[in-house]
Amino acid sequence: MSQANPAVISPSQKQVPVREDGVLLKLWQNPKSRYSMIILLIVIAVGIMGPWFAPHDPTKPYYESLLAEPSAEHLLGTDSIGRDVFSRLLHGTRVTLMVAVMAVSITFITGTFIGVTSAFIGGVVDTILMRIMDILLAIPNIIMAMAIVAILGPSLTNAMIAVGIAGIPKYARLTRGSTLAVKSSGYVEASRAVGTSNARILLFQIMPNIMSTLLVYTTLQIGIAILDTAALSFIGLGAQPPTPEWGTMLSEGKEYISDAWWLATFPGISISIVVFSVNILGDALRDILDPKSN
Amino acid sequence: MKQYILQRLASGLIVLLGISIFSFALIHLIPGDPIRIMLGENATAEQVHALREQLGLNQPLVTQYFQYLANVLQGDLGTSFKTGRPVLSEILERFPATVKLAASGMFLAICIGITMGVLAARFKDTFIDFSAMSIATLGVSVPSFWLGILLIMLFTVKLGWLPIAGGTGFRDLILPAVTLGVLASTVISRLTRAGMVEVLSFDYIRTARAKGLGEGAVLFIHAFRNAMIPVVTIIGLQIASLLGGTVIIERVFDWPGLGSLAISSIASRDFPLVQGIILFIGVIFVLVNMLVDIVYSLIDPRIEVGQTKEGTS
Amino acid sequence: MVPTAYLKKLFSTATMVSLSMALIAGCSTPPASSPPEGSAPSTTTSTETPAATADLQPKKGGTITIGIANEPDQLDIHKTGMAVANQIAGNLGASLVTQDPDTLEFKPYLAESWQVSEDGKTWTFKIRTDVKFHDGTAMTAKSIAETYQRALNPETAAKVAGSNLSEVESVEASDDTTLVLHLKQPFAPLLQFLSDPGWLQPLSMQAIEQAGDKYARQPVGVGPWKFEKWENGQSISFTRNEEFAWADPIFKNQGAPYADRLVYRFIAENQTLLAALDSGSIDIARGVVAKDVAKYRDNPQFEVKEMLRNGLGLFVMLNTRKPVFQDVEVRQALNKAINKEAIMKAVIQGEGVVSYGPLPPSLFGYDESVKDYGLTYQVDEAKALLEKAGYTKNAQGLYEKDGKPLKLDLLTQTGTWAQASQLIQAMLKDIGVEVNIVTLEWGALVDTATKGSFDMTLMGYTLNDPDVLYLFLHSSQADSGLNFSYVKDEKMDELLVKGRTTVDSAARKDVYKEVQKYVVEQAWWVPIYTEKQFNVVRKPVEGVGIHPLRGLMYHDSWVNQ
């Protein structure tokens, strides 16, 4: 079946290794991706250093100022149990990014492994693996993630695992498609003819060639992972209190949407900005690395 | 052609079987010994043994699976723990609402997506292009439950234009369908733009323009039709995934479909229902995809080639 | 099907836990009925009937739509265990006796009169003869006897209804107007349970036989509303019972209801529920939380109906299976380390009362003086108690004993409990105890608590009689019941049995006075608060009543259109 999303997945027809040194420069030259990169760099910096700058302990309740509006003391106000929203947002940046990166790593490692194995070995192994991917693909991401968390029990780690697993099938199919395209290219056949070992072909010819496609998709997957984690939080299967994760903050904040606007607004905007930037960057990367696929 | 269709059916069937195994396995994936979980920590060994025997759990898994499969084929998906009613009737009662929402969402997504895509392509590299594509990207960047709540706050609470939780009538449908449509329009608008940009650069369009044809005619008669092939393909594929995409939106708007049933059944640990929903959605997904593929192979023989090259997997 | 069968059992252990999703249903929504005499202070009763509307004449017609979070599993009141099913099915039914909302006295209703034998074990009710089921059959003493026999039949596996009748040995109807209940022992809460139009309403045996399995979704009773339809996942609707001429004497309206239809609409998301109320999709929102209620209080278009919950809204159960909690000093220390006022203020905006003992002011037998002897927030004393119990602070500032730091799991569920658990975590962190919050959905929480694999769990209960403590603290309920704290204490058992068998209300009150004192002393629980429960009514609907123990009443309600 071909439920792969053509917008992101299309086995690249490139037969020749792409020179990737110019990618960063090209990204920088395009104003859209430049701003995305700047935003993401800032967000990553906040993720790394933010906690040092947090004015308050993100889990400490200030009983005397519950649901306080943004003020000099609490820049973005306080939540229903009197915790400083700004500090939670800063700490939450790290948590949110970590979760996304870990989830995507699960997707990336497992998906690439399955996809490459499938394409490289071919035959029965290929058929079996791809059928399994088809089966998993038939179950919507969010339902799959919900089922996994329901089985493992709700926690941030399990949400991360669930979101990661849910992304695997599409990823594996993409990797397989790209690998097949490279494998059938003239120079792989040529190296095989001169007796290059499979491992060498895999490491030095296939991997570098499929990397560009994978990079595009991995970037876009980060956005999906952040949104899926937030969706899990919305139905109560995400991060556990008092962890300041953006999706959980947004989900808690939605209960106060009409009387304490700052609770949902800031995490909501943070998520949207990060996902938006990631998507723009992913698109730009695709335009540069994999122009045919658009 | 015939061979392709047969091949397609065969692979679909294998996937369907796989989904049944997956949904069967789901219950066996619950950590811990189900009998122990069931009886609690104070159960005696005899009780455990007796119950295991009684429930047929001492039988090999394979036997249990075939029993399950046989039941499923007869339309028996089990009984909901919560309501004691057949899982299949629970699902079938909710399914129409989801189809309604998904179809309206798809319709809106097509309208929004194609308009934006055509506009962006026509005014390529202008501010209009930039805005249209930014909005399209924003559509998949905002958490859908937040967007839904913001729409409720604006159109229901502040403006009082649209109802909420009033049933499944037309006016109730607007907000959830728009939310879903915004979400699903992104891919369509991107593809439309890409297709149109490519087509607009072709010679025959230049010729048409040179002949003094109006811009509207050029866009919609000549360019659009040719740019639409990939778009139509993705629309077919999106229908199936939209059925899953409605999950969160149904919950936010209190839409009584399969998605809200999925959430509540997971929350109440109604495992036969969860199992049934997964099986059902999987089957629908596979059938829709199969249908879409076959229909396209009939319409456009080129697609068959593309499909088989990629492997029908 | 094999796997389904065993999982069904698995599920039922989660729901049943002997009886009682209904009692402990964690997150609010006012339930049904409760206790006699003098117990309820003024906070319990409703707010106002606005003077302006008092003179209006009720009109016939229209639909009253009620928005509520949970959908019941079924409406066969014997087979369900859900509090919401009882609330909804209460509209279909009527009770043997009724309870005056002001004096809390029991008065005749379906039973015109009743007598109790000398030994308190035989109750004889004289049943009125003018009552008909919705299916047209006449209701007699025999129908009621059969209904209760069905509830008592182990095959029915009646959850709450069965438990409410658990002290009934047998039921018989010697003729059409005489119903006799034989009890195993005197049972004080009996009238209380019989005053509930939900769980113990008469059912039409003919309808049950005819409908078979379908009865659960097409119930038949004798009440003011007739079942119309159930749209799965959306709503349950009732139509007016035109023949209804046997209204509960506590209502002004003694005939059929005014409105044509009564509809319950299920809306799981709180924000969506409120938006539905604001936009007029629903007329009444059930279980509005404290934080959302203020804006409706100030708005003349809405009327807020409030009552204090008939039960302890939030408390922590300490699991005495764990060695750490076998030490009474540790249990007391935790009681002193938790700032109940702060939790109440943050979680329910102060809309409730702080609890020091196991009973709320809204239940019979509540002892005012619990405020004086209850354990209060005293961080220094809490630390001193832990040190006395042999704990010392380690390098990380955590208390430890024998090299094991004091780290405890706290079970909670999403919603307001999530906030409370985070506050408890922060408070215990302040004294040097680390708390790990485990969020579970309700069924899983009850499951885990029943199995005893936890340190502490949040809990709440609702019942109209202090006998609820028997279910939570008696040793017979430790292994499979609600006694999650695993209290096995002879003195406690003795007091609780005395509480349920002492029929004289003054003497019974004394028993519960002692019960409260003992529970506080033993500190198995950390009581936190009892919240007010809010329902918001939108203007065109008038005359919605509130009973301090039954919650909202719709029989005098009408649509002003």
Convert C326-353 into a string of H (helix), E (strand) and C (coil): HCHHHHHHHHHHCCHHHHHHHHHCCCEE
Residue in C26, C156, C29 with CA at minimum distance from that of residue C444: C26
**Alpha-carbon distance A186 to A279, whole Å?**
34
Contact C347 A81 (CB under 8 A): yes
**A-chain residues within 8 Å CB-CB of B310?**
2, 11, 177
A131: closest CA of chain C, how far (Å): 26
C329: tokens are 């000093």
Helix (H) or strand (E) holding B259: helix B258-267
In chain B, which residue's Cα lies nearest the Cα of C280? Answer: B163
Which residues of chain C are in CATH 3.10.105.10 domains?
A: 314-531
Give all chains having 3 or more CB-to-CB distances under 8 Å with chain B.
A, C
Whole-number pLDDT of residue B166:
65
Pairing of strands C284-288, C525-538: antiparallel
Give the pLDDT confidence score for residue C47 in this predicted structure: 43
Element (H, E) at C65: strand C63-68
Say which residues have a Cβ less than 8 Å from residue A81's Cβ, sequence separation at least 6: A61, A66, C346, C347, C419, C422, C423
CATH for C314-531? 3.10.105.10
* DSSP-assigned letters across all residues of chain A: ---S-TTT-------SPPP-TTHHHHHHHSHHHHHHHHHHHHHHHHHHHHHHH-SS-TT---TTSTTPPS-SSSTT-B-TT--BHHHHHHHHHHHHHHHHHHHHHHHHHHHHHHHHHHHHH-HHHHHHHHHHHHHHHTS-HHHHHHHHHHHH-S-HHHHHHHHHHHHHHHHHHHHHHHHHHHHTSHHHHHHHHTT--HHHIIIIIIHHHHHHHHHHHHHHHHHHHHHHHHHHHHTT-SPPTT---HHHHHHHHHTTTTT-HHHHHHHHHHHHHHHHHHHHHHHHHHHHH-GGG-
Task: Mention every residue, 6+ apart, whose C-beta is less than 8 A from residue B55.
Answer: B35, C2, C5, C6, C9
Tell me: domain C63-283+540-559, CATH 1.20.1440.20, correct? no
Do B282 and B19 meet the contact criterion of CB atoms below 8 Å apart?
A: yes
What value does the mean pLDDT of chain A take? Answer: 83
The residue type of B224 is F
3-state secondary structure of B151: helix
Query: CA of B110: how far to CAs of A3, B181, B232, B238, C492, in Å?
Result: 18, 8, 10, 11, 69
Size of interface B-C (CB pairs under 8 A): 146
**Which of these CATH numbers, 1.10.3720.10, 2.40.50.140, 1.10.340.30, 3.40.30.10, describes A31-49+80-289?**
1.10.3720.10
Q: Check A254 against B244: CB less than 8 A apart.
A: no
Residue B210 has phi, psi (to 5 degrees) of: -60, -35
Mutation site for C-interface testing, chosen from A81, A157, A234, A263 by largest number of C Cβ within 10 Å: A81
Pairing of strands C541-542, C558-559: antiparallel
Is the Cβ pair C2, B56 closer than 8 Å? Answer: yes
Please say whether the beta carbons of B104 and B173 come within 8 A.
Answer: yes
CA-closest candidate to residue B227, choices B132, B137, B117, B139: B117
Q: Is A201 on the interface with B (CB under 8 A)?
A: no
A151 to chain B, any CB pair closer than 8 A? The answer is: yes
Residue C530 phi/psi, 5° resolution?
-125, 125
Cβ separation C14–B251 shorter than 8 A: no
> C444 to chain B nearest CA, in Å?
8
Rounded-to-integer distance, Cα C187 and Cα A39, Å: 70
Report yes or no: A241 at the C interface, CB cutoff 8 Å: yes
User: Where exactly are the structural domains of chain A?
Assistant: 31-49+80-289
Do residues B138 and B112 touch, judged by C-beta distance below 8 A? no
* Closest residue to B254, CB basis, from C1, C268, C278: C268
Q: Does A50 touch chain B (CB under 8 A)?
A: no
Low-confidence spans in chain B with pLDDT less than 50: 40-42, 303-313
If one compares C317 and A243, the residue with the highest pLDDT of the two is C317
The pLDDT value given to residue A246: 92
CA distance C372 to C375: 8
Cα dihedral A232→A234→A237→A242 (10° resolution): 120
Interface of C with B in 372-431 (CB under 8 A): none
Say yes or no: C422 contacts chain A, CB-CB below 8 A: yes
Q: What domains does chain B contain, in order, with CATH numbers?
A: 94-299 (1.10.3720.10)
Task: Inform me whether the C-beta atom of residue C401 falls under 8 Å from chain A C-beta atoms.
Answer: no
Band of the pLDDT at A2, cuts 50, 70, 90? Answer: very low
Mean per-residue pLDDT for A258-287? 90
For each of chain C's 561 residues, which pLDDT tens digit applies? 334 444 444 444 333 333 444 566 544 333 333 333 333 333 334 444 444 445 578 999 999 999 998 889 899 999 887 888 999 999 999 999 999 998 889 999 999 999 999 998 999 999 999 999 999 999 999 999 999 999 999 888 787 888 889 899 999 999 999 999 999 999 999 999 999 999 999 999 999 999 988 899 999 999 999 999 999 888 999 999 999 999 999 999 999 999 999 999 999 888 889 989 988 889 999 989 888 898 899 899 999 999 999 899 999 999 999 999 999 999 999 999 999 999 999 889 899 999 999 999 999 999 999 999 999 999 999 999 999 999 999 988 899 998 889 999 999 987 778 889 999 999 999 999 999 988 877 777 887 888 888 999 999 998 888 999 998 999 988 887 889 999 999 999 999 999 999 988 899 999 999 999 999 999 999 999 999 999 999 988 999 999 988 889 999 999 988
For chain C, report the end-to-end CA distance as a whole number of angstroms.
Answer: 53
Q: Which of C34, C184, C30, C45 is nearest to C106 (CA)?
A: C34
Of C282, C443, C450, the CB nearest to B269: C443
- Under an 8 A CB cutoff, do A138 and B15 touch? yes
From the list C266, C271, C443, the residue facing B268 with the nearest CB is: C443
CA-to-CA dists, residue A294 to A15, A284, B223, C443, C508, angstroms? 17, 11, 17, 48, 80
The whole-angstrom separation of Cα C86 and Cα B269 is 22
Q: CB–CB of B120/B129 below 8 Å? A: yes
The residues, any chain, with a CB within 8 Å of residue A19's CB and separated by 6 or more, are: none
How many CB atoms neighbour CB B235 within 10 A?
A: 21
Give the residue from B74, B162, B268, B279 with the most C CB atoms within 10 Å of its CB, the best one to mutate: B268
Work out the percent of chain A whose per-residue pLDDT is above 70: 91
Give the span between the Cα atoms of C520 and A287, in whole angstroms: 70
The number of CA neighbours under 13 Å toward the Cβ of A251 is 28
Residues of chain C with CATH 3.40.190.10: 63-283+540-559
> What's the pLDDT score for residue B54?
61
Q: Which of B146, B150, B198, B294 to mutate to test the interface with A (most CBs of A within 10 A)?
A: B146
The total number of residues shown for chain B amounts to 313
Q: How far is CA B22 from CA A132, A139, B58, B69, in A?
A: 10, 10, 20, 12
CA–CA separation, B180 and B208 (whole Å): 37
pLDDT score of A11 more than 50: no
Contacts of A294 in chain B (CB under 8 A): 190, 194
- Interchain proximity A143–B281, CB inside 8 Å: yes
What CA–CA distance (Å, rounded) separates B293 from B5? 9
Sheet holding C404-405, edge to edge: C392-393, C399-401, C404-405
Residues C346, A236: C-beta atoms closer than 8 Å = no
Helices A207-234, A85-121: axis angle to 10 degrees equals: 140
With beta carbons less than 8 A apart as the criterion, state whether C80 and C88 touch: no
Cross-chain residue pair C440–A258, CB shorter than 8 Å:
no
Chains A and B form CB pairs within 8 A to the count of 166
List Cβ neighbours of A287 (8 Å cut-off, separation of 6 or more).
A30, A294
- What does the alpha-carbon distance between residue C114 and residue C127 come to, in Å, rounded to a whole number? 9
Counting as contact any 3 or more CB pairs under 8 A, the partners of A are B, C
**pLDDT digits 0-9 by tens, C247-306:** 999 999 999 999 999 999 999 888 889 989 988 889 999 989 888 898 899 899 999 999
Are A172 and A111 a contacting pair, CB within 8 Å? yes
The pTM (predicted TM-score) of the whole model is 0.82
Distance, in Å, from the CA atom of C67 to the CA atom of C55, rounded to the nearest integer, reads 27
The ipTM (two decimal places) reads 0.83
User: Helix, strand, or coil here: C146?
Assistant: helix
CB contact under 8 A, C7 and B271: yes
Q: Which chain A residues are Cβ-neighbours of B190 within 8 angstroms?
A: 7, 294
Mapped onto helix, strand or coil, the DSSP state of residue C174 is strand
List the one residue out of C251, C253, C217 whose CA is nearest residue C237.
C217
